[in-house]
């Protein structure tokens, strides 16, 4: 029964997405959604975490054990930050890069993705990130859990209408910067922001078009770092209002209306103060 219910849910998700996408994106998404997940093996310690061993069974099992052990803490961190709870246990799928791209319409370099009501983790990309000195994969899990909680509680339509820059900014904030911002410094991002090369804070999320890094001709790490900096600024400006706005967004209310109601002003009105606050970051220290 659980397998049937899961299949029906994926079919419903597919139907929704197919009505909104076109061309190559539609094909990739449709194919990914229709792949059976029956071959995934449940973790011995957490049946909601599943994996495919692939060509490196030992490594796959090691990563799976780490993820299974981290889910409870990650859920707690995300629920506390949002003041809301997951509607049901997160379903997590883990496999190597070649498998990952069959189930998620992204590139082999992506370490993880929240895709519909599931999270997929790319073993190869996660371990490469750690080798580069990025935050451990447990933080990436928290990042994706942040996306998933919003998706579950707000619902897929309200979730899609939250601007991508905020979804990524809040996910990194909760996950202590994990995602991509580790590879771009604050001074680097500040210089781009001051040069006018940044996302649009007035962006209205949409199920049809939700602008991401490439839309603004930014790299993904730069887009993530800028988003995190602005979200951090908004929270520091008024923590109580920020928590209220986030609660309303998670409840499925309009993104910009939620901020205006909580802060008494539009989110765009905070942009000039944010830009002014980062000016000092570009100042180079005196060198001998």
Q: Which residues, in sequence order, are CB contacts of 76 under 8 Å at separation 6+?
A: none
User: 129-169 pLDDT, tens per residue?
Assistant: 999 989 999 999 999 999 999 999 999 999 999 999 999 99
**Neighbour order of strands in the sheet with 49-51:** 41-42, 49-51, 91-95, 118-122, 112-115
Which whole-number Å values give the CA distances from 139 to 24, 90, 136, 178, 253, in the listed order? Answer: 31, 16, 6, 6, 28
Q: Which tops the pLDDT comparison, 22 or 193?
A: 193
Confidence band for 180, pLDDT divided at 50, 70 and 90: low
The residues with which 51 forms a beta bridge, in sequence order, are: 41, 94
The pLDDT of residue 9 is: 52
Residue 253 has pLDDT above 50, yes or no: yes
The residues with which 113 forms a beta bridge, in sequence order, are: 120
Which whole-number Å values give the CA distances from 47 to 67, 73, 175, 248, in the listed order? Answer: 12, 16, 24, 32
Whether this model's pTM surpasses 0.85: yes
Residue 236 has pLDDT above 90, yes or no: yes
SS3 labels along 114-146? EECCEEEEEHHHHHHHHHCCCCCHHHHHHHHHH
Residue 207 has pLDDT above 90, yes or no: no
The pLDDT of residue 19 is: 40
Residue 285 has pLDDT above 70, yes or no: no
Burial tier of 132 (Cβ tally within 10 Å: 0-12, 13-18, 19+): exposed
Residue 288 has pLDDT above 60, yes or no: no
Average pLDDT value for residue range 259-275: 97
Confidence band for 14, pLDDT divided at 50, 70 and 90: very low
Burial tier of 285 (Cβ tally within 10 Å: 0-12, 13-18, 19+): exposed
Q: Which tops the pLDDT comparison, 258 or 288?
A: 258
pLDDT, the chain, mean = 88
User: 94-140 pLDDT, tens per residue?
Assistant: 999 999 999 998 888 999 999 999 999 999 999 999 999 899 999 99
Confidence band for 22, pLDDT divided at 50, 70 and 90: very low
Residue 60 has pLDDT above 70, yes or no: yes
Q: Whole-angstrom distance between the N-terminal and C-terminal Cα of the chain? A: 70
Confidence band for 282, pLDDT divided at 50, 70 and 90: confident
Confidence band for 29, pLDDT divided at 50, 70 and 90: low
Helix (H, G, I), strand (E, B) or coil at 35: coil
Q: Which residues, in sequence order, are CB contacts of 177 under 8 Å at separation 6+?
A: 135, 139, 228
Confidence band for 182, pLDDT divided at 50, 70 and 90: confident
The pLDDT of residue 283 is: 60
The pLDDT of residue 2 is: 40
């Amino acid at each position: 029964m659980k397998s049937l219910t899961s299949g029906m849910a994926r079919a419903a998700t597919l139907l929704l997405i197919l009505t909104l996408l076109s061309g190559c994106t539609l094909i990739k998404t449709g194919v990914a959604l229709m792949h059976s997940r029956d071959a995934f093996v449940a973790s011995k310690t957490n049946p909601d975490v599943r994996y495919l061993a692939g060509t490196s069974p030992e490594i796959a099992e090691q990563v799976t054990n780490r993820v299974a052990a981290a889910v409870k803490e990650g859920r707690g961190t995300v629920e506390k930050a949002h003041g809301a709870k997951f509607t049901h246990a997160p379903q997590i799928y883990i496999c190597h890069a070649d498998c990952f791209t069959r189930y998620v319409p992204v590139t082999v370099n992506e370490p993880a993705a929240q895709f519909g009501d599931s999270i997929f983790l790319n073993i190869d990309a996660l371990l490469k990130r750690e080798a580069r000195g990025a935050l451990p994969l447990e933080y990436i899990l928290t990042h994706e859990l942040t996306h998933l909680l919003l998706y579950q509680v707000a619902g897929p339509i309200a979730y899609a209408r939250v601007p991508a820059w905020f979804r990524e900014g809040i996910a990194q904030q909760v996950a202590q910067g994990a995602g991509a911002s580790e590879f771009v410094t604050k001074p680097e991002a500040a210089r781009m922001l001051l040069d006018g090369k940044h996302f649009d804070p007035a962006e209205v999320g949409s199920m049809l078009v939700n602008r991401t890094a490439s839309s603004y001709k930014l790299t993904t790490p730069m887009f993530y770092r800028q988003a995190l900096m602005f979200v951090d600024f908004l929270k520091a400006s008024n923590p109580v209002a920020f928590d209220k706005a986030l609660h309303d967004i998670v409840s499925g209310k309009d993104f910009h209306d939620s901020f205006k109601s909580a802060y008494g002003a539009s989110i765009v009105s905070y942009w000039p103060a944010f830009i002014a606050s980062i000016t000092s970051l570009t100042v180079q220290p005196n060198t001998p």
